[in-house]
Chain A
Amino acid sequence: MALLEASGVVAGYGETEVLHGVSIKVNAGEVVTIIGPNGCGKSTLMKAMVGLVRVRTGSVHFRGVDISGHDPEQTVRSGLCYVPQTENVFPSMTIRENLEMGAFVRRDDYQFRIDEMLELFPDLRRSARLKAGTLSGGQRQMLAIARALMLDPVLLLLDEPSAGLAPALVEGVFERIRDINSTGVSILLIEQNARESLRMSDRGYVLAGGANQLQDTGPALLDNPEVGRVYLGG
């Protein structure tokens, strides 16, 4: 059984329908990438999965439970954590406070988890007392991911974690994602850096116009001439 299975998801904002029946799945332990042109509904799909956007028809099953209609708090508690593309830290709060907020629903003493996160992201340890708003783009992205990891999620949703970063930093982000996956966390990510992202992915999906277009293993999508032409820049 798949860890996460979205089937026939229809969702949108107000009068506008953005997703017209999208289906994807993530198996336990996998890294799965979604690529597609701007405005094809990738981000909306993630928001629908975590309960920020209402699923109108279709379903989202996570660990066998239909979570469409759950509010974000319930989704987070069930082990599905999400990192938005932008505005993904609390700017006036310190790095430590950001991590504490990530652990909001934890009832145990999560201090050890903060230490683990500062271990995993050494850049953050050096400046744990700084306000998140003063961090560089790369540090901010690391903090955003660390915040989402505070709950030991089963599945992590990352919306363009490398967006807006200098090329030298992008490789670092992908390395961290591989590290996180190697600890047993499944990962679903949206990426513009499709080539790097597909290379480390078990499988990938191409969305277009709010619907599924292609799906295959990561390497197969990399070799697909059509994908190469449209999304990988030749």
Chain B
Amino acid sequence: MGLSMSPGRISALLAAGLLILGFLPFIKLGLVVNGLILGSVIALGAIGLTLVYGILKLGNFAHGDYMAFGAYVAFFIVDGVLPRVGIEGAGLGPFTFGFPVLIALPLAALVVALGAIALDALIYRRLRDRAASTAILMMASLGVAIAIRGLVQLIWSGETQHYPRESRQVYHLPMDVRIPPDGLFVAVLAIILVAGVYALLTHTKMGKAMRATSDNPTLALVSGINTKQVVWWTWGIGGALAAVAGVLLAVVQAQLLPIMGWKFLIPLFAAVILGGIGNPYGALIGALVVGVSMELSTQWINPSYKPAVAFAIMIGVLLARPRGIFGDAP
């Protein structure tokens, strides 16, 4: 879980940078902006996914569905709870969504965080106590993913839903760049949360204990680190970030669908693998690269192939640098 720069890596990054610069005259800057917004949403999901993998050695197939569940919990609060106490509205300032979404966001994060911790106690901890293999843990998470999606469909139906919204003007910038205010909100919130996670991991005792457990779980145990608490925090942070990512995705896409999280799983894993599995800083960079690549691809190929672009990145990285761009070469 580190970010060290060897001369080889720096030159590789420089080469990649030059390649991008070379393509610059041929690409639409507006798509890059869209990609960075999408990348911010991916980053929030990917950081949680990579933390869970690093600390629990669990490739959580349910992470996308934690996102979707968070989006729907927020929908329930905005649509079903807040109107009863007279809080309604859309089109807050320059944004399409209203004040209720801002209230629902932290509540949904809390619900999913607690849900993720409860699911660990219910399922994953028991499997770990029996020394279950990584494959079994992953299969269990696949089951959780299907169950959550089923639950969402059961409660909120498979129909498209959306948060109450009002149309808003997009910001026009030079070079034909258009930024929707919602996108700006998404990017700024993502930056704040990522900075928060960074501060937590590098400056708090629990954050350092999380990194230590990810580095070497046995040594963490014999150092007296309370690994149970570390596991709770990991799920709590991962779940909360996933919920926020889900709400933001619903805002950006202007709709909620039960399948939205599952479909987002490939970009999440692509970002995590690109950044080196278990490395949260790498996941951030990976997420931005995947987001921009997905959006840029629409200039040349049908937008419905966007997930395929993420998949291609994932396969490419696995073939060329299985430890990710910041990992050691194989």
Contacts and interface: CB of A to CB of B under 8 A. Distances in A.
Instruction: Report if A and B associate in a common complex.
Output: yes
A52 interface: yes
13 contacts: A72-B221, A73-B224, A77-B224, A84-B222, A89-B216, A92-B2, A97-B208, A101-B212, A104-B209, A104-B223, A104-B224, A133-B2, A147-B223
A93 B224 contact: no
A202 interface: no
Interface in A81-101: 81-82, 84, 87-93, 97, 100-101
B211 A52 contact: no
A90 B221 contact: no
Interface centre among B2, B218, B219, B224 (most CB of A within 10 A): B224
Interface string B100-130: 0000000000000000000000000000000
A71 B270 CA distance: 38
B230 to A, nearest CB: 10
A81 B224 CA distance: 9
5 tightest CB-CB pairs across the interface, nearest first?
A92-B2, A76-B224, A105-B224, A90-B215, A72-B221
A144 to B, nearest CB: 9
Contacts of A82: 222
A97 B214 CA distance: 14
Interface of B: 1-2, 4, 205, 208-209, 211-212, 214-216, 218-226
A131 B222 contact: no
B219 A88 contact: yes
Contacts of B226: 73, 104
Contact of A52 (B208, B216, B221): B221
Contacts of B209: 101, 104
B211 A92 contact: yes
Contacts of B223: 76, 101-102, 104, 147
A134 interface: yes
Nearest to B211: A93
A151 interface: yes
Interface string A140-164: 0000000100010000000000000
Interface size class of A (residues with CB under 8 A): 20 to 34
A124 interface: no
A50 interface: yes
Interface string A42-60: 0000000010100000000
Given A89-B219, A133-B2, 5 more contacts: A90-B215, A100-B208, A102-B223, A104-B205, A151-B224
A149 to B, nearest CB: 12
**B209, B222, B224 — which one has the most chain A CB atoms within 10 A of its CB?**
B222
B216 A87 contact: yes
Given A73-B226, A93-B208, A131-B4, A52 B220 contact: no
A131 B225 contact: no
A133 B328 CA distance: 13
Contact of B220 (A50, A77, A101, A134): A101
A46 B294 CA distance: 53
A76 B219 CA distance: 12
B2 A76 contact: no
B208 A84 contact: no
A105 B222 CA distance: 11
Interface centre among A50, A72, A131 (most CB of B within 10 A): A72
B224 A52 contact: no
B224 A87 contact: no
A72 B208 contact: no
A185 B211 CA distance: 30
Contacts of B208: 93, 97, 100-101
A150 B101 CA distance: 48
A201 B66 CA distance: 57
